[in-house]
Structure 1
Amino acid sequence: MASSTAVTAHHHDPPAQQGVQELRTVPVRHWGRWAAAAAALTAGGGTLWSLAKNPNLDWPTVGDYLLHDLVFSGLWTTVWLTVASMVMGLVGGTVVAVMRLSDNLVLSSLASLFVWVFRGTPILVQIIFWGYMGAFYEQVMIGIPFTDVTFFSAPTSELVTPTIAALLALGLNEVAYASEVIRGGIQSIDKGQTEAAHSLGMRPGMTLRRIVLPQAMRVIVPPMGNDTVTMLKTTALVSVIAGHDLMSNIQDVYAQNYKVIPLLVVAAIWYLVLVSLLSVPQSWLERRYGRGAGAGDSPLRRLLSVRRPVRPVKGANR
């Protein structure tokens, strides 16, 4: 009876006591963030304005050479070297990674020696070494070792052209780095899955192709995407052996007209364009292989997405 009386009294309270004063929520003003953003925009805008108005940049020259045939010829060589080196690095890196993980002491030792040599020496030294291979070996010969039997022989300078030398240097260097990335991806997979595949009768090669590598791609893709971008920019170093890439052709032009800064701006613009294009498939691959592992949408998709309001479920508050 006491409880029912209290409830009845509660229902008969005057309206003034029943009403609850509404609380007005006011967002916190982050004045420091706004000030930092304003300072950053001011500094960035001032820098861009200074560059745009700088007469030493010579924008007419930049416009003349931005779509020049010589620039496009160098762009083709740069793209070709990047793609071929990365394919060589992926295939060779997978082989070297499997060799390093092998129980065969000879194979694992040779793979470790290969990685040690090509990771331990600067890429510029490797490019120059391959570019001047003719000074080290005058002839390239294929035959039976430790005998005088030779099946093929040709001058090194005719076989190892500057472009081939650049491909060998970049590709073999990428094999060493890619092998470590792939080895880390393979080792990230639980060994229990390999043992389960073997218990089902799958051979080691099939287990690697169908079980281990598809799961390891989630770990392999992001660093390999960064390696691709790095490889694209590293191709500029082949200009020291006249590799006919973008940077080599740019250097040939400003060696004649002495307009160094405008032509370097042309090279920088094209490198930025190529890197931006490479980021698109990299982002797609990361989302594809990261499904189910907490991989989110791309920043552009998050920006364009419209969040729908959550509808209350009937009877949820009862």
Structure 2
Amino acid sequence: MLKHDTVLLQEAVQALNVQESGTYVDGTYGRGGHSALILEHLGLSGRLIVIDKDPVAIEHARQRYAADARVSVWHGSFRDFPQALLAAGVTDKIQGVLLDLGVSSPQLDDAERGFSFMREGQLDMRMDITSGESAAQWLNRADEAQIADVLWRYGEERFSRQIAKEIVRTRINTPLETTTQLSNLIASVVHKREPGKNPATRSFQAIRIKVNQELDDVEVCLQQSVEWLAFAGRLVVISFHSLEDRIVKHFLRDNSNVPNLPKGLPIMPAFIQPPMKLIGKAVRPSALEVEGNVRARSAIMRIGERSA
């Protein structure tokens, strides 16, 4: 099993600009790499709220920080981080939110979680295995048009219609239950292969995003951050594919620009302060980091700061 290397570890925590007495949210705990480094910068009066959908990750956090009064652990989606703050007794605005999106190495490497098309396992794909509908359940009930739409919208899969048609045809006699069933089905349909990429890559990504409502979670969380970040508080987001990054990029752009107002209004744009400002350019892992952790190759980090 591959160990979990936290992507952009130093860069992300540096971007948070951690204050000793600040309150921070690590919305995607994973195996705690970012959290551990944040805590090194926090003083005794600082607070860290760690959140994860994955019960395994939450248990890891609870055991690791059981004796640390600065840490509060909350099981759920980062989109609901205000609930986690209130549950921890935090009512004031906070100094930072960190999101490390995507799937962690332990999730990918555990065949039974169903995230990997490279390993035989149950076709689950839920980050929170205690709730919601698994990938198999959805694929065995959704109609052909719904499946094709998800594969195209979230995976940009050119063969989305052909794959959806084959899924619906196959499940009549043989319900989809395992990862290899699905990956083999996709391989039988996708004849034009992208160099260096498994033909199931795009479809597995799309189905995972659908099952976990990942893009919806990101959009809601970003909007919540505007309400909860204190002045000069930082929002740091690491994305791993273009759909996530596009949402983050557009959110930061739209919230850091003065709106276009009709001419003749008594209030001039110069007096209107946008809620966020961009901090630096997008950050990517170094060649050295990618060499040591191939899963870092698609990562991109964007930083925003509350400005009003």
What TM-score does the superposition give when structure 1 sets the normalisation length?
Answer: 0.27
Higher-helix-fraction structure: 1
What TM-score does the superposition give when structure 2 sets the normalisation length?
Answer: 0.27
Higher-strand-fraction structure: 2
RCO higher in structure (CA 8 A, sep ≥6): 1
* Rg (Cα) greater in structure: 1
